[in-house]
Structure formats: C-alpha cells, structure tokens
Structure 1
Amino acid sequence: MSYHHILVAVDLTKDSHKVLERAIVIAERNNGAKISIMHTLEPLGFAYGGDIPMDLTSIQDQLDEHAKQRLAEIATPHIDKADQHVVVGMPDTEIHRFADEHNVDLIVVGSHGRHGFALLLGSTSTGVLHGAQCDVLAVRVGKKGESSDE
C-alpha cells in the first residue's frame, strides 16, 4: 500500500516533533506523499460550559493565534504554511472530518501511555482510531513517568 496524503495530528507538546518526524519518513518512502499537519483547539464553551455569562471570543482568538504560532514552529520548514491547520472542535471529530474532506489515506497521531485502553493509545488517539476511514499510525511518545508537557 502506498500513501498519497498523510495527516499529522499534534497536541503542540514537545513530542509533536517526534510525530512529525515519523510522518516525514513515511512520506519520503511513499514518493514524497503530501503532508498536512493540524492541531485542534476545544471550544472554550466546552471547557467552561454555558454557565459563564461572558464573551469568550477574544480569549478563543488568542488561543487560536498562539496555536498557529506553535504549530508553525513545529512544522516549518517541513510543511508549507497552506498545509498547517488549527481548527476549533472536538479533536477526533475534526481529524476525521479533515481526513474525509482532503482524501487523507494515513493519519499519524502521538500516543501517550495512560490507563485502561487509553493506556495503549490515549483518549484522542483511541477516538481517532475508532472512527477513521483510513489507516492510523499511533506513534509512541514520552517515556514512562515523563511528562510530555512543556
């Protein structure tokens, strides 16, 4: 099987570079397959519920801008700006939507060790795996007992 379009879904932690590096190797082995990279921001309304009587638009915009800058740091020079995407929504849903709309044939995600089935993949990776219409590669990141957050 050869891949033509690879989607790298990252969480913007320091381990995101490892996930991208794995995708780059796969792309090179597949005649320079296209790589897109994305990060999904959960809407603040989900995080805080509808109980806060305030406009969170400016805060969401700031988070979006910060995520775009961080994604560019990770992706540049490997991925063109036009193929760097920050979207707002639930991660697994947005990853599936993007993959379907852009004919992605491989999704590459990072996998942090957790507990239960999520121990194997992580909750986002598990959600991506279960709903994907294409192949999914979960790249093991972080070491046991090591935090992947910056």
Structure 2
Amino acid sequence: MSWLKKNKVMVPIDFSEQSFAALAVAREMVEAANQLHVFHVLPMLHPTDPAVVWNTVTDESREQKVEAALQEKLTSAGYASAQINVVIGNPDREIINYAKANDIDLIVMPAHEERGLSFLFGSITEYIVRHASCSVLVVR
C-alpha cells in the first residue's frame, strides 16, 4: 500500500509499551528507519527541586541520558538510524511545534487508558489530534 508510505513520521515516546508499539506501526509507513522522528519531552524542573538546588542535574545532562536510553532501546529494536529528539517543555506544545518546524507528514501516537498518569498522555493525544498541522494516527 504505497499510499500509506510517508517521508517523515514522528512518534512521541513516553517509554511506555504503547508508545513503542506505535513506533512499530510507524516503521511500516516509511521506507527507511531514518525517516522516523522519535521525540521525547522532559518535564521542566521546578526551581526548588533538590537536583536544581544542589546543582547535580542540568537540562543538558537530562537530555543526554534520555537520548542515550532511547538510542539503546531503538538500536536493540532495529531502529538505530531513527532520528532522536529530546526537548524540555510542555509535551503538547513541543510536539506540535516540532511537527510544524520539521514538516512532519504523520504523527503516530498511542491511545492510553484514561487513568493515573496515562490520563495526562491521553489528553495530550487529544490535543495533538485537534491542533496538528499534519495527519495523526492514534494506535490502540
């Protein structure tokens, strides 16, 4: 089904099984893994967070650790050439901004159950569906 093939597919990853399942679906929609944009958003640290107060963690070190963890996970899954992007901020806005700035053709996201922290990501999925400038595929 060549009409399903896309040039740039973005997959927001929150390290859940569902988000990696969405990555597998996205991989089927591109010719090569390097057309995948794996994206993770770290929350901003609060100024009173002990790691900030004691200056033991920086935004750069947090980004590097997550990038390394994603690279390891992607390499073991056969997606070593996927593009990894880690940013700090508000997930819904960062996903929308990245997709627009990088001319993403399709965003593939999981549909999480609405309970606990998953409710937060579920509401992010809803926001992305409503505000993305490209197509969004929600995977169950």
- Structure 1 match to 2:41: 40
* 1:51 positional shift: 5.3
- Structure 2 match to 1:4: 7
* 1:56 positional shift: 5.6
Q: CA-atom RMSD, angstroms?
A: 2.8
8 Å CA contact 2:106, 2:134 repeated in 1: yes
Where in structure 1 are there 5+ consecutive unaligned residues?
141-150
- Structure 2 match to 1:128: 128
8 Å CA contact 1:16, 1:74 repeated in 2: no
CA distance in 2, matches of 1:101, 1:57: 32
Q: CA offsets per residue over residues 36-92 of structure 1, 9 Å max, x none?
A: 1111101112xxxx55682667254443233112211232231426x1111111111
Aligned length: 130
Percent identity among equivalent residues? 26
* 1:135 positional shift: 0.5
3-state SS of paired residue (1:12): coil
CA distance in 2, matches of 1:42, 1:59: 12
- Structure 2 match to 1:22: 25
8 Å CA contact 1:67, 1:86 repeated in 2: yes
Q: Structure 1 residue runs of 4+, over 6 Å off?
A: none
Where in structure 2 are there 5+ consecutive unaligned residues?
none
Q: CA offsets per residue over residues 74-111 of structure 1, 9 Å max, x none?
A: 32231426x11111111111111111111101001122
TM-score normalized by the length of structure 2: 0.76
- Structure 2 match to 1:103: 103
